[in-house]
Amino acid sequence: MNGPALYELPSAPASWRIALPHTAAAVPVARALVRTALAELEHGADCDTAELLTAELVANAVEHTSGRGPIELVVELMASGCQVEVHDTDPKPPGDLTCPSGGLPDPWQEHGRGLLLIRTLSSSCGHRPTESGKAVWFRLPVVPAQRRPSA
């Protein structure tokens, strides 16, 4: 190799899949899993953003879907970045994840910014039907080592 590497990429994809309760208690568990996965493999995706967007997806699944069955969190780390999916049993697509409707959320309202955050902070996002409902996902790219905050 000529010169130093700009950043190290994981040699093979790694993934985690976990069932979470259909309650608000799922949010901190999901955040912790994503942070641990990215930190243990020293993956170059932005941990803070991944954790925030994961919390938004899980909170939306808990709040806006019916059913008592668990929701599922899937985290995949690839050389190009990471993808996080949340699976639930409601086949209805999420509000305006990919096609925003209306203006900006009301700044005085407590809710209504989650999908805006996901659209704005991820490199891509979307949803797809599954056999048992739907999966809502986002992707984040690897951040080169020189642009990561120093610990």
Q: Answer whether residue 149 is part of any domain.
A: no
Closest alpha carbon to 53 in 125, 101, 106: 125
> Residue 78 sits in a domain of what CATH number?
3.30.565.10
Q: Is residue 105 part of a domain?
A: no
With respect to residue 84, please indicate whether it lies within any of the assigned structural domains: yes
Asked, for residue 38, whether it belongs to a domain, the answer is: yes
Number of domains in the chain: 1
How does pLDDT run across 41-61, given as a tens digit for each residue? 676 888 999 999 999 999 999
Summarize the confidence of residues 29-33 as an average pLDDT.
96
Q: List, for residues 36-46, the tens digit of each pLDDT value.
A: 988 876 768 88
Of the candidates 139, 98, 97, 100, the one whose C-alpha atom is nearest the C-alpha of residue 122 is 139
135 falls within a domain: yes
Over residues 113-126, the mean pLDDT reads 87
Contact between 50 and 99 (Cβ < 8 Å): no
